[in-house]
């Protein structure tokens, strides 16, 4: 062991010069240098080189001196680029000389090259300089890998592993508070750090990269010009190298941890540090300072004249006191991230788990936040009255302002986003402990603003960890910390701030909460720290941080660290990302632009149109992150953006898309699969791009097959948008802009069982309605004509979700066929298993048409359509004119069509449609029992109609009421439509994946809406 109290050598300058000349052959000018234990001289040789002559303390054992020279020799070989002193051998050829001191003691003497540069201690410590310092140390230690020497295995007070010995020196510190600080850190070292040190990597390290031993280039202060003084080198834990460099380089800087981050990042870039090393770095920096200040205190009396010892004492104490106020976990997070590690182990995995699983979370509010109309609370604007009033501790007035604003903007849920820069945090508690002179201004929670009393529920299972009241003004008020340990995810914590105090009496630490259990309610200003009522919800990936250690607001400079430690809780709370970021034009801009450059009669839903930006299953998400349950759009048959369809589409689109002139597997595979779903002789398929195109093709087939033009359609039918189909659509030609019925078109009564004349016997209704078709055939006959086609939707939809009376199509098809016509089923809306019991709605009537046209749901949103007919009709159509359709039947569309069929079959969506449809019918019928206005509830599978009447006897259509219900449902986040000649039938066509929760929500909204609309009436 080195005797630290042994006096330093005391050779005169002249004696030193003599040693230089006699032992090393160097002559020149000499100047003494400061040294703690040895005696150092600078010698500027006459031939223009500079050296350091080191006369080693006589107490230094020989193996120590040998170790130093071996180390320098090792670096000479393995790190010739490194700016470290180079050995000048003695005239004997040996690295060390030996001289006798005045008292007869022998001193080892070494000569090394002088490194040119300015001590870092005297220069500005920029992040670049510190980063380069870290790099140089990393290079040095990498070069030192594998080097060992007996002299390196020494016991030494400056060995960080021996930092615990500082406890013996604490007594020399005068101030009691300072002593307490040291004891605290020493306790922590003994308890948490020392036991972990033996498992860390150990190596020979420089161990004293203090800011006087680090030289920088005066002309480029970012460049490290030299690292000197290997006198403290030893075999210790590798991370001590970084800790020592940090302890001195971060003295007197505004942002010590940021500065340490630069050093450790630089080191790590050259020599990768392990997580367990970085995890101890903050403590080891502190311990280096503890060693330093206690050492100074102990020796202050004895060596008061030795300035070297005291050089960093006052700044070291300042730094120690600052570090003492920092949370080690938070500081470590900064250092970990600087090395490219998760700020906390598992941080990223937690965020991923939440994103992957949040669909199955329970709602945090009684109504899921995704379903509420949301708006951003203006705390990001320092001038906003709400901000000014809140910062000025006038929460009641701020609440008044917000309530008025939210009411005006129809905001049900105010959002305070994560990361927002805020000026409201005015208290001293918001001063940064990390960066001198700065404040914490970035919001690290997610705020949900709703009225005081709003109940809050845990989305996943939890254990109550803390329940407390923070009294500080602009603090949290009642605060709850929960811990979550979901399967497959590292544990994490959530913080629930600004609650009503009732939670304190109700929740107990250790208590288990199940997903969906009540946590508390939003508190009023008197309970919530003096704020507009809201919840501050925050995640912490570090469960060890106490509620009050979790930073609710953070320093902008460390936002990337806080982002990992305290990730945005938006996904945890189930908020769609659109809540926070809008792209593209605003709704009003789009409306204006549509008016100016699109057809003015292009149809648009709702007086206040919605801009949807995303679809997901049964949900459509608008541009402000509000999710609507889609019970109307039957095109996205399997739900919006169904992954199987998206994959099939993108995969095939990435390979090939051509047309039917070339051979491809997809079209035949798809035709096989599609025709297999159809009964009878319906075995020839062809493909098109829209329902209209399919119906037009059907008309060409009809003409080719029957030689006739005449068509019988049902009243109020719609079959497509081309002129020839408008001519077959009473819904169009009889209404505004329509030109009336053309002579080749014959209209049969809509076979509406609900509106059948009261005196028709129930079992005769089909027959009576069929008579209307017979009449049309008779009137054709009178004109010497016959029917070419009877065209009908298998469940007339535009006419008001009309379900044909049993036996109707059987009678009609027989009549039409007897008169030489063919029968076509328009399954554009109702096909593909929507009715549940069958693939095709016509099957429920026990008939087989000659032609079936399909569209809408066929491609789950991809524009495609199909016509399937019999061999006989196909043969007639094959009249010599070649058939070609540029897009119809292309490989991409067929891949999509196949995916749709696959999913319907694989997931038994027909079974689901039937079950959900029956459930809805039952529930709607229960409502019908309570609401006189519900005249009829009808449906099959997921094709449903609710007819509203003002009087059940007269069946007077309740058109206005239907409009109100439709709008009321939209306001409550459910999309449906109204239909029928009087627009009094609520039309529902939810996607085939509609589940029980979706159905229950639909019912809940229907109940609420009916109650509200009826109360208003």
Structure token pair of residue 375:
């708006």
Nearer to ligand PLP, 151 or 691 (CB): 691
Nearer to ligand PLP, 316 or 828 (CB): 828
Q: How far apart are CA 742 and CA 94, in angstroms?
A: 117
Q: How far apart are CA 522 and CA 540, in angstroms?
A: 20
- Which of positions 780-839 make contact with ligand PLP (CB under 6 A)? 793, 826, 828-829
- Which of positions 319-358 make contact with ligand PLP (CB under 6 A)? none
Question: Mask of contacts with ligand PLP, 836-875, x by CB under 6 A?
Answer: -------------------x--------------------
Nearer to ligand PLP, 525 or 889 (CB): 889
Q: Which stretch binds ligand PLP (CB under 6 A): 565-573, 685-693, 873-881, 917-925?
A: 685-693
Nearer to ligand PLP, 292 or 633 (CB): 633
In whole angstroms, the minimum distance from the beta carbon of 829 to ligand PLP comes to 5
- Running DSSP on this structure, what letter comes out for residue 473? T
Nearer to ligand PLP, 432 or 695 (CB): 695
In whole angstroms, the minimum distance from the beta carbon of 861 to ligand PLP comes to 12
> Residue 481 pairs with which residues in a beta bridge?
466, 495
Q: Which stretch binds ligand PLP (CB under 6 A): 110-118, 284-292, 674-682, 715-723?
A: 715-723
Residue of the chain from 720, 800, 821, 859 that contacts ligand PLP (CB under 6 A): 720
DSSP helix/strand/coil, 963: helix
Maximum CA extent, the chain:
144
Q: How far apart are CA 416 and CA 445, in angstroms?
A: 8
- Which of positions 256-295 make contact with ligand PLP (CB under 6 A)? none
Question: Mask of contacts with ligand PLP, 643-682, x by CB under 6 A?
Answer: ----------------------------------------
Nearer to ligand PLP, 9 or 861 (CB): 861
Nearer to ligand PLP, 58 or 841 (CB): 841
- Between helices 127-143 and 239-249, what is the axis angle to 10°? 150
Structure token pair of residue 648:
């099939």
In whole angstroms, the minimum distance from the beta carbon of 682 to ligand PLP comes to 18
In whole angstroms, the minimum distance from the beta carbon of 955 to ligand PLP comes to 25
In whole angstroms, the minimum distance from the beta carbon of 907 to ligand PLP comes to 25
Q: How far apart are CA 687 and CA 886, in angstroms?
A: 10
Of 769, 729, 739, nearest to 752 by C-alpha is 769
Size of the site for ligand PLP (CB under 6 A): 13
Nearer to ligand PLP, 752 or 793 (CB): 793
Of 636, 533, 570, nearest to 370 by C-alpha is 570
For the chain, the first-to-last Cα distance in angstroms comes to 97
Give the other-Cβ count within 10 Å of 598's Cβ. 11
In whole angstroms, the minimum distance from the beta carbon of 855 to ligand PLP comes to 4
b/e per residue 70-96 (b: at least 16 CB within 10 A): bbbebbeeebeebbbbbbbbbeeeebb
Nearer to ligand PLP, 229 or 979 (CB): 979
In whole angstroms, the minimum distance from the beta carbon of 892 to ligand PLP comes to 18
Helices and strands in the chain, H and E counts: 28, 39
Residue of the chain from 231, 475, 691, 836 that contacts ligand PLP (CB under 6 A): 691
Give the other-Cβ count within 10 Å of 724's Cβ. 18
Nearer to ligand PLP, 533 or 888 (CB): 888
In whole angstroms, the minimum distance from the beta carbon of 791 to ligand PLP comes to 9
Nearest residue to ligand PLP, scored by beta-carbon proximity: 691
Nearer to ligand PLP, 603 or 743 (CB): 603
- 488: exposed, middle or buried (C-beta count within 10 Å: 0-12, 13-18, 19+)? exposed
Check if the beta carbon of residue 974 is closer than 8 Å to that of residue 629: yes
Structure token pair of residue 553:
């607001």
Of 561, 553, 343, nearest to 444 by C-alpha is 553
In whole angstroms, the minimum distance from the beta carbon of 865 to ligand PLP comes to 6
Q: Which stretch binds ligand PLP (CB under 6 A): 204-212, 498-506, 602-610, 688-696?
A: 688-696
Nearer to ligand PLP, 9 or 855 (CB): 855
In whole angstroms, the minimum distance from the beta carbon of 863 to ligand PLP comes to 8
Told to check if 695 binds ligand PLP by CB under 6 A, we report yes
Nearer to ligand PLP, 375 or 857 (CB): 857
In whole angstroms, the minimum distance from the beta carbon of 941 to ligand PLP comes to 16
Question: Mask of contacts with ligand PLP, 739-778, x by CB under 6 A?
Answer: ----------------------------------------
Q: Which stretch binds ligand PLP (CB under 6 A): 140-148, 261-269, 350-358, 691-699?
A: 691-699
Structure token pair of residue 1008:
């609420």
Which residue has tokens 């009576």? 768
> What does the chain come to in residues?
1017
Q: How far apart are CA 78 and CA 69, in angstroms?
A: 14
- Between helices 328-338 and 256-270, what is the axis angle to 10°? 40
In whole angstroms, the minimum distance from the beta carbon of 511 to ligand PLP comes to 56
Q: How far apart are CA 893 and CA 676, in angstroms?
A: 18
Q: How far apart are CA 725 and CA 734, in angstroms?
A: 13
Q: Which stretch binds ligand PLP (CB under 6 A): 50-58, 100-108, 717-725, 762-770?
A: 717-725
Give ∠ CA 455-457-460 in degrees, rounded to 5.
Answer: 175
Q: What is the DSSP string of 464-517?
A: EEEEEEE-STTS-EEEEEEEE--TTS--EEEEEEEE-THHHHH--TT-EE-TT-
Structure token pair of residue 870:
């019999």
Nearer to ligand PLP, 652 or 690 (CB): 690
In whole angstroms, the minimum distance from the beta carbon of 690 to ligand PLP comes to 4
Give the other-Cβ count within 10 Å of 410's Cβ. 10
Classify 116 in phi/psi space as left (phi over 0), alpha (psi -120 to 50) or beta. beta
Nearer to ligand PLP, 40 or 940 (CB): 940
Q: Which stretch binds ligand PLP (CB under 6 A): 110-118, 292-300, 387-395, 719-727?
A: 719-727
β-strand 477-484 against 462-470: which pairing, if any? antiparallel
Of 897, 915, 934, 898, nearest to 994 by C-alpha is 915
In whole angstroms, the minimum distance from the beta carbon of 889 to ligand PLP comes to 16
Contacts of 12 (CB under 8 A, 6+ apart): none
Nearer to ligand PLP, 117 or 859 (CB): 859
In whole angstroms, the minimum distance from the beta carbon of 894 to ligand PLP comes to 18
Residue of the chain from 11, 425, 718, 790 that contacts ligand PLP (CB under 6 A): 718
In whole angstroms, the minimum distance from the beta carbon of 796 to ligand PLP comes to 8
In whole angstroms, the minimum distance from the beta carbon of 988 to ligand PLP comes to 15
Of 230, 244, 23, 50, nearest to 143 by C-alpha is 230
In whole angstroms, the minimum distance from the beta carbon of 536 to ligand PLP comes to 49
Give the other-Cβ count within 10 Å of 168's Cβ. 11
Contacts of 205 (CB under 8 A, 6+ apart): 141, 144, 233, 234, 235, 236, 238, 240, 241
Nearer to ligand PLP, 386 or 685 (CB): 685
Residues forming the site for ligand PLP (CB under 6 A):
690-692, 695, 718-721, 793, 826, 828-829, 855
């Amino acid at each position: 062991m080195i005797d630290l109290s042994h006096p330093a050598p005391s050779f005169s300058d002249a004696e030193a010069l003599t040693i230089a000349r006699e032992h090393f052959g160097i002559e020149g000018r000499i100047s003494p240098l400061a040294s703690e234990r040895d005696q150092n001289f600078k010698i500027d040789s006459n031939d223009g080189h500079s050296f350091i002559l080191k006369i080693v303390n006589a107490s230094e054992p020989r193996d120590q001196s040998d170790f130093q020279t071996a180390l320098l020799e090792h670096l000479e070989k393995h790190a010739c680029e490194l700016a470290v002193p180079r050995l000048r051998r003695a005239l004997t050829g040996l690295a060390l000389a030996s001289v006798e001191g005045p008292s007869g003691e022998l001193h080892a003497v070494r000569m090394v090259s002088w490194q040119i540069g300015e001590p870092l201690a005297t220069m500005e410590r920029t992040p670049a300089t510190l980063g380069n310092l870290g790099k140089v140390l990393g290079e040095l230690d990498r070069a030192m890998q594998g080097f060992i020497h007996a002299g390196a295995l020494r016991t030494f007070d400056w060995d960080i592993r021996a930092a615990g010995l500082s406890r013996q020196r604490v007594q020399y510190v005068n101030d009691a508070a300072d002593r307490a600080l040291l004891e605290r850190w020493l306790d922590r070292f003994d308890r948490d750090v020392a036991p972990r040190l033996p498992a860390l990597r150990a190596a020979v390290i420089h161990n004293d990269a203090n800011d006087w031993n680090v030289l920088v280039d005066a002309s480029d202060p970012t460049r490290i010009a030299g690292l000197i003084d290997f006198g403290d080198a030893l075999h210790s834990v590798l991370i001590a190298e970084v800790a020592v460099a940090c302890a001195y380089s971060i003295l007197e800087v505004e942002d010590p941890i940021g500065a340490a981050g630069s050093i450790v990042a630089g080191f790590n870039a050259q020599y990768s540090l392990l997580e367990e090393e970085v995890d101890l770095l903050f403590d080891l920096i502190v311990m280096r300072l503890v060693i330093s200040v206690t050492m100074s205190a102990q020796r202050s009396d004895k060596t008061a004249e030795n300035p070297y010892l005291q050089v960093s004492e006052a700044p070291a104490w300042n730094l120690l006191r600052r570090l003492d106020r920092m949370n080690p976990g938070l500081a470590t997070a900064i250092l970990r991230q600087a090395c490219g590690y998760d700020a906390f182990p598992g941080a990223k995995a937690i965020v991923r788990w939440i994103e992957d699983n949040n669909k199955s979370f329970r709602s945090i509010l009684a109504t899921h936040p995704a379903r509420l109309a949301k708006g951003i609370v203006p705390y990001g604007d320092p001038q906003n009255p709400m901000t000014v009033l809140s910062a000025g501790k006038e929460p009641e007035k701020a609440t008044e302002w917000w309530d008025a604003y939210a009411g005006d903007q129809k905001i049900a849920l105010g959002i305070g986003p994560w990361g927002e820069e805020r000026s409201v945090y005015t208290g001293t508690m918001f001063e940064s402990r990390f960066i001198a002179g700065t404040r914490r201004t970035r919001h690290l929670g997610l705020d949900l603003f709703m009225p005081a009393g709003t109940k809050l529920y845990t989305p996943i299972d939890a254990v109550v960890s803390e329940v407390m009241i923070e009294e500080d003004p602009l603090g949290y008020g009642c605060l709850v910390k929960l811990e979550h340990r979901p399967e497959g995810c590292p544990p994490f914590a959530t913080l629930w701030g600004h609650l009503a105090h009732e939670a304190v009496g109700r929740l107990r630490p250790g208590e288990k909460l199940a997903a969906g259990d009540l946590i508390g309610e939003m508190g009023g200003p008197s309970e919530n720290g003096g704020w507009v009522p809201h919840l501050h919800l925050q995640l912490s990936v570090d469960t060890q941080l106490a509620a009050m250690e979790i930073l609710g607001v953070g320093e902008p400079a460390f936002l990337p660290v806080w982002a990992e430690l305290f990730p945005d809780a938006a996904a945890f709370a189930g908020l769609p990302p659109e809540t926070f970021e809008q792209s593209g034009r605003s709704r009003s801009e789009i409306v204006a632009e549509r008016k100016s450059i699109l057809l003015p009669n292009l149809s648009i839903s709702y007086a206040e149109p919605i801009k949807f930006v995303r679809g997901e299953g049964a949900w459509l998400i608008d541009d402000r992150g509000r999710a609507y349950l889609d019970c109307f759009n039957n095109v996205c048959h399997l739900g919006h953006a169904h992954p199987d369809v998206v994959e099939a589409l993108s995969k095939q689109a990435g390979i090939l898309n051509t047309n039917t002139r070339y051979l491809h597997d997809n079209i035949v595979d798809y035709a096989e699969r599609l025709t297999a779903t159809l009964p009878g002789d319906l075995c020839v398929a062809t493909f098109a791009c829209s329902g209209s195109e399919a119906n037009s093709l059907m008309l060409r087939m009809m003409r080719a097959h029957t030689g006739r033009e005449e068509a019988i359609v049902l009243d109020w039918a719609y079959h497509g948008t081309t002129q020839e189909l408008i001519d077959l659509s009473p819904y169009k030609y009889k209404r505004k802009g329509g030109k009336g019925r053309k002579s080749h078109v014959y209209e049969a009564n809509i076979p509406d069982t609900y509106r059948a004349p009261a005196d028709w016997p129930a079992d005769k209704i089909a027959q009576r309605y069929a008579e209307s078709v017979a009449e049309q055939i008779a009137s054709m006959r009178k004109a010497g004509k016959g029917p070419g086609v009877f065209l009908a939707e298998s469940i007339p939809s535009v006419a008001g979700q009309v379900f044909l009376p049993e036996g109707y199509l059987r009678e009609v098809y027989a009549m039409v066929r007897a008169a030489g016509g063919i029968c076509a089923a328009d399954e554009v809306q109702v096909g593909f298993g929507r009715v549940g019991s069958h693939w095709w709605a016509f099957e429920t009537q026990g008939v087989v048409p000659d032609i079936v046209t399909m569209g809408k749901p066929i491609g789950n949103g991809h524009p495609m359509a199909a016509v399937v007919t019999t061999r006989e009709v196909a043969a007639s159509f094959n009249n010599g004119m070649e058939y070609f359709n540029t897009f119809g039947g292309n490989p991409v569309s067929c891949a999509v069509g196949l995916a749709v069929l696959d999913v319907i079959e694989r997931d038994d969506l027909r079974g689901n449609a039937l079950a959900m449809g029956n459930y809805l019918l039952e529930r709607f019928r229960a409502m019908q029992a309570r609401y006189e206005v519900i005249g009829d509830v009808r449906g099959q599978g997921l094709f449903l109609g609710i007819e509203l009447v003002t009087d059940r006897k007269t069946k007077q259509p309740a058109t206005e009421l239907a409009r109100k219900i439709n709008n009321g449902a939209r306001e409550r986040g459910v999309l449906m439509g109204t239909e029928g000649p009087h627009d009094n039938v609520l039309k529902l066509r939810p996607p085939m994946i509609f589940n029980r929760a979706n159905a229950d929500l639909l019912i809940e909204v229907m109940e609420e809406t009916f109650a509200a609309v009826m109360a208003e009436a």
